[in-house]
């Protein structure tokens, strides 16, 4: 009778062993799931980066082709099988771009004049209008602002004929005035800056009014410094717009004294007198020279553009 085992003791021994087995199996299942998750995560990341790589190559390849084409000789450029790297670097194409029938120096000067003056005046108009819609109270403010926003749905090309008739009546054709005045007001910039102004607490404005501060002084001392990223964004976008504009300058200013760089590039022939053929490498060099300033602006100021846009879209 002493050798008979107690059933309760056997159950007490087997239950911990069963729990240990279940725990071990559970840990194995977790490890399998974790491995599957890692594999799926790797596949998703690989496909994502592969897709982004393809998109980046498709975007950057035209710029690469423009760069290497500007460094090729005319003979190499006209070969049946194109080369992906110049066999001989023809730096003279850049000198030809300046000394040919394209007066790049004058075109750069005209474009800088139009870009700087139009940007400064547009900033003044945008700041004052955005401040009025954000802080001042007057009758019909919301209705007027809604009407301005509604104009953003109308394509700008629809105003081309009426604007042309208007500036012709004023006698502004072939002047810097016709390149600057018609586009001083931008509803998008006003909306962008107004949204940024609305993020500034109204208590600051009320406290300033109690201290006897004028609206213009409050705007200059408080709102403009706090909205500096958005103002930098507007400045960059306005300059880039003036640099890239083509249709309107082509229509109203075709004389050499007021021609902009985009119009000059389109009208230049780039004909090689020796071969009587179009010198495409020199043309690519001229386009590269015109593109470099915009690329540098975007590379060095892209964080200000992103910061200004993101800060202006938080409050409606």
Query: Is beta strand 271-272 parallel, antiparallel or unpaired with respect to 277-278?
Result: antiparallel
**pLDDT tens-digit series, residues 160-186:** 888 899 999 998 888 999 999 988 888
Contact indicator for 263, 174 with CB cutoff of 8 Å:
no
Q: Copy the structure tokens of residue 15.
A: 């239950």
* Fold held by 92-311: MetI-like fold (1.10.3720)
Average pLDDT rounded to a whole number, residues 67-88:
86
**pLDDT tens-digit series, residues 6-25:** 555 444 545 555 566 566 66
Q: Copy the structure tokens of residue 20.
A: 């240990």
Distance of CA 220 to the CA centre of its chain: 27
CA distance 222 to 228: 10
Contact indicator for 73, 90 with CB cutoff of 8 Å:
yes
CA distance 289 to 111: 14
> Is 90 exceeded by the pLDDT of residue 237?
no
- Domain range list for the chain: 7-70, 92-311
CA distance 254 to 258: 7
DSSP state of 222: I
pTM of the model: 0.73
For 13, 117, 214, 306, the CA distances from 3, given in Å and listed in that order, are: 17, 108, 105, 84
Q: Copy the structure tokens of residue 62.
A: 């035209």
- Containing 271, the helix (H) or strand (E) segment is strand 271-272
**pLDDT tens-digit series, residues 262-301:** 888 877 777 766 677 778 888 888 888 888 888 887 777 7
């Amino acid at each position: 009778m002493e050798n008979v085992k107690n059933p309760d003791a056997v159950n007490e021994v087997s239950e911990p062993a069963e729990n240990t087995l279940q725990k071990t199996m559970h840990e194995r299942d977790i490890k399998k799931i974790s491995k599957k998750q890692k594999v799926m995560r790797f596949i998703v990341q690989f496909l994502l980066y592969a897709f982004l790589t393809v998109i980046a190559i498709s975007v950057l390849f035209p710029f690469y082709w423009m760069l290497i084409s500007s460094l090729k000789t005319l003979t190499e450029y006209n070969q049946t099988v194109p080369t992906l790297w110049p066999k001989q670097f023809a730096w003279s194409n850049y000198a030809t771009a300046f000394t040919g029938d394209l007066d790049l120096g004058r075109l750069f000067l005209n474009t800088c004049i139009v870009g700087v003056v139009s940007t400064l005046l547009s900033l003044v108009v945008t700041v004052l209008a955005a401040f009025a819609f954000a802080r001042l109270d007057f009758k019909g403010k919301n209705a007027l602002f809604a009407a301005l926003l509604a104009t953003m749905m109308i394509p700008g090309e629809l105003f081309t004929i009426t604007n042309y008739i208007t500036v012709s009546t004023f006698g502004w054709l072939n002047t810097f005035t016709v390149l600057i005045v018609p586009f001083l007001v931008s509803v998008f910039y006003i909306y962008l800056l107004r949204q940024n102004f609305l993020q500034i607490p109204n208590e600051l404005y009320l406290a300033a009014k109690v201290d006897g501060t004028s609206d213009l002084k409050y705007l200059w001392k408080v709102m403009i410094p706090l909205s500096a990223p958005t103002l930098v964004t507007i400045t960059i976008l306005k300059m880039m717009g003036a640099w890239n504009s083509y249709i309107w300058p082509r229509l109203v200013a075709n004389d050499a004294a007021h021609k902009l760089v985009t119009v000059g590039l389109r009208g230049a022939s780039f004909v090689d007198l020796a071969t009587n053929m179009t010198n495409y490498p020199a043309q690519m060099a001229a386009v590269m020279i015109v593109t470099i300033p915009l690329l540098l602006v975007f590379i060095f100021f892209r964080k200000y553009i992103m910061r200004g846009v993101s800060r202006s879209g938080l409050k409606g």
